[in-house]
């Protein structure tokens, strides 16, 4: 039985980003309740050579939408990466969720063997559709989401496993 590229991608992307919206809301509430300048959390990092919280959120959103668009062969929406608050990051994620909802199964299913090519900072990469989704897009989405979660958790935001996984 073939794996549905649509079912493997869009519902997963949607769930992860929706959970991330809820995590952002907890981060914002934590800053407000404890009288912490929100920029402290937005600029927090786990280690000096890692991206800060804000960039982790942007990258999670970008990973989901660019992955879906490349697989479907559509234009990748461009975002300015100028969010400076929890509310603006939440709006970015909600906008990405709306963009993901526009994809239809017929745009993604059957692309398992399609060559997907993309530009990194240092080179051009190519993979077939299914390995691209399973070995590149999903791990990157989970990496940036987990890192954002861990930054807030490290800074005292009361988050648990169910915040990351979401409620069924």
Q: Which two tokens stand for residue 149?
A: 């979660």
For tokens 């988050």, what's the residue? 159
Partners of residue 117 on adjacent β-strands: 126
Q: Residue 57 pairs with which residues in a beta bridge?
A: none
**Which of 5, 14, 28 has the alpha carbon at shortest distance from 60?**
14
Question: Do 76 and 65 touch, CB atoms closer than 8 A?
Answer: yes
For the record, the structure tokens of 108 come out as 């993604």
Q: Coil, strand, or helix at residue 64?
A: helix
The pLDDT score that the predictor gives to residue 2 is: 76
Q: What domains, with CATH codes, occur in the chain?
A: 5-108+117-165 (1.20.120.450)
Q: Where are the beta strands (DSSP E) in the chain?
A: 115-119, 124-128
Per-residue pLDDT of the chain (168 residues; tens, 9 = 90+): 578 999 999 999 999 999 999 999 999 999 999 999 999 999 999 999 999 999 999 999 999 999 999 999 999 999 999 999 999 999 999 999 999 999 999 999 999 999 999 998 899 999 999 999 999 999 999 999 999 999 999 999 999 999 999 986
What is the pTM assigned to this prediction? Answer: 0.96
CB 91 within 8 A of CB 24: no
92 within 8 A of 82, measured Cβ to Cβ: no
């Amino acid at each position: 039985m073939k794996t549905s590229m649509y079912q493997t991608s869009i519902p997963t992307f949607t769930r992860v980003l929706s959970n991330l919206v809820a995590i952002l809301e907890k981060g914002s509430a934590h800053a407000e309740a404890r009288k912490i300048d929100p920029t402290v959390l937005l600029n927090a990092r786990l280690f000096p050579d890692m991206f800060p919280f804000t960039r982790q959120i942007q990258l999670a959103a970008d990973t989901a939408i660019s992955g879906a668009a490349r697989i479907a062969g559509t234009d990748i929406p461009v975002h300015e990466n100028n969010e400076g608050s929890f509310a603006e990051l939440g709006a970015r994620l909600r906008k990405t969720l709306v963009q993901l909802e526009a994809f239809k199964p017929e745009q993604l299913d059957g692309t398992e063997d399609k060559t997907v090519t993309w530009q990194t900072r240092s080179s051009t990469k190519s993979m077939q559709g299914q390995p691209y989704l399973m070995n590149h897009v999903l791990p990157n989405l989970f990496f940036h989401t987990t890192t954002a979660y861990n930054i807030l958790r490290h800074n005292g935001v009361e988050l648990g496993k169910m915040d990351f996984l979401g409620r069924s």
